[in-house]
Amino acid sequence: MTYSLCRAIFLSGWSYVYNMDDSQNSLSGSAMPYLTLAEVMRRRFGCRVQKLSVDAGFTCPNRDGTLGHTGCIFCAGEAFVPSYCRMAGSITRQIDEGIRFHQWRYRKATKYLAYFQSYSNTYAPLEVLKARYGEALAHPQVSGIVVGTRPDCVDDGKLDYLASLANEHYVAVEYGIESCYDKTLRLIRRGHDFACTERAIRATADRGLPVGGHLILGLPGESREEMLAEADILSSLPLDSLKLHQLQILRGTELERQWREDPASVPPPFTLEEYIDLVCEFLRRLRPTIAIERLAGEVPPRYQATPDRSWRRPSKESTRTLGGALLRNEDIPRLVVARLQASSAAMGSGSSSPKE
Ligand code: SF4
């Protein structure tokens, strides 16, 4: 992504990714056929907890030249960052602005976690990390931190420090897993293998820290069965929560360049129905104690290289699936829950097939 496009996206509004997980809070916990992170946090804190994205000014080894300059082929950098956390403001100011924003949008949240989201938030000397996490934890309304990072950007010293912070605060680590297959990690130019991911997850869990992961469904070269088998692989790891994302071809990325050069080399984005079907099957195979934080996320059509495939556009499929309405945040979990419930009802009534 060019700097100017990054900046245009960064400054043009608060939400570049439709967060299709917030809506899980509005679905009844007891009715959910899978565990949600919102429910886990409600049990732990006794109230609704809101993550506040923070851009703490870190970079990543895949962009600063250590491993590469262009980043993972799907990455559009700031396209995923809310505007209230521009680095123009201090961490404290970003948190203040985030609280103001979320108090207006989600009045039910009474506790907040600073979410170090942008780039790789353990990719700096320990002293720098201490200062930046410390600033967030010093905020009177912040109950803890969630640190998003790459698996190759943690070591014993950093994890020990995070574990020491966890004596006083809530501290969780989220890893960009993206794929469980080395062939895919090479293809997307990730710069580390899956063994590195496994080591980081185990080392984090060994210290008693909650561990989350992000996985992309639909990456080039992965079959449906391989994607579903990732549910089995992740279930065998000490993972506490998971965010699922569907692959999108974003403007300005290396993925877009490859797709324009050779459209057959990049799988077309999922239709909504294909994705719901895949996610339901994935959830059936996933260990039920892994809490789901997000099932999907979509950038607005204007940032997609394939806007005609956007789930947010009126189409024959949206007419069929949503009765003609445009997709809203709560629709993805609602559709997934309805599909899973219909499936288990069918099985309970003697259907021989678990598939819808
Ligand atoms: S590691 Fe993360 S921030 Fe760095 S290029 Fe890959 S997706 Fe982008």
Please compute the mean of the pLDDT values over residues 136-165 and round it to a whole number.
Answer: 98
284 CA distance to ligand 1 middle (Å): 29
Residue 161's H or E segment, with its range, is helix 156-165
CATH of the domain at 139: 3.20.20
What local confidence, expressed as pLDDT, does residue 14 receive? 28
The upper half-sphere exposure of residue 335, i.e. CA atoms within 13 Å in the direction of its Cβ, equals 23
Residue 271 has pLDDT above 50, yes or no: yes
Query: Is the CB of 150 inside a 6 Å radius of any atom of ligand 1?
Result: yes
**40 lies in which domain range?**
3-348
Separation CA 247–CA 215 (nearest Å)? 10
In a domain, 356, yes or no: no
Query: Is the CB of 176 inside a 6 Å radius of any atom of ligand 1?
Result: yes
Q: Per residue in 49-85, pLDDT tens?
A: 999 999 999 999 999 999 999 899 999 865 555 555 5
Highest averaged pLDDT of the listed ranges 56-70, 83-97, 301-315: 56-70
5 CA distance to ligand 1 middle (Å): 17
Number of domains in the chain: 1
Q: Per residue in 4-25, pLDDT tens?
A: 333 333 322 223 344 445 555 4
What local confidence, expressed as pLDDT, does residue 12 receive? 28
Query: Is the CB of 1 inside a 6 Å radius of any atom of ligand 1?
Result: no
In a domain, 74, yes or no: yes
In a domain, 353, yes or no: no
What local confidence, expressed as pLDDT, does residue 88 receive? 54
In a domain, 86, yes or no: yes
Helical spans, DSSP H, in 236-306: 254-261, 272-285
In a domain, 324, yes or no: yes
What average pLDDT does the structure give for the chain? 86
Looking at the CA of residue 178, tell me the nearest atom of ligand 1.
Answer: 7
Longest pairwise C-alpha distance within the chain: 61
pTM score: 0.88
Q: 250: which residues sit within 8 A by CB, 6+ positions away?
A: 1, 74, 76, 79, 256, 299, 303, 304, 305
In a domain, 355, yes or no: no
In a domain, 228, yes or no: yes
71 CA distance to ligand 1 middle (Å): 6
Separation CA 336–CA 317 (nearest Å)? 16
Separation CA 110–CA 45 (nearest Å)? 10
190 class by beta-carbon count within 10 Å (0-12 exposed, 13-18 middle, 19+ buried): buried
The upper half-sphere exposure of residue 7, i.e. CA atoms within 13 Å in the direction of its Cβ, equals 4
Looking at the CA of residue 190, tell me the nearest atom of ligand 1.
Answer: 6
Please compute the mean of the pLDDT values over residues 193-208 and round it to a whole number.
Answer: 98
In a domain, 354, yes or no: no
What local confidence, expressed as pLDDT, does residue 77 receive? 66
215 CA distance to ligand 1 middle (Å): 13
Query: Is the CB of 71 inside a 6 Å radius of any atom of ligand 1?
Result: yes
State which amino acid sits at residue 195. A
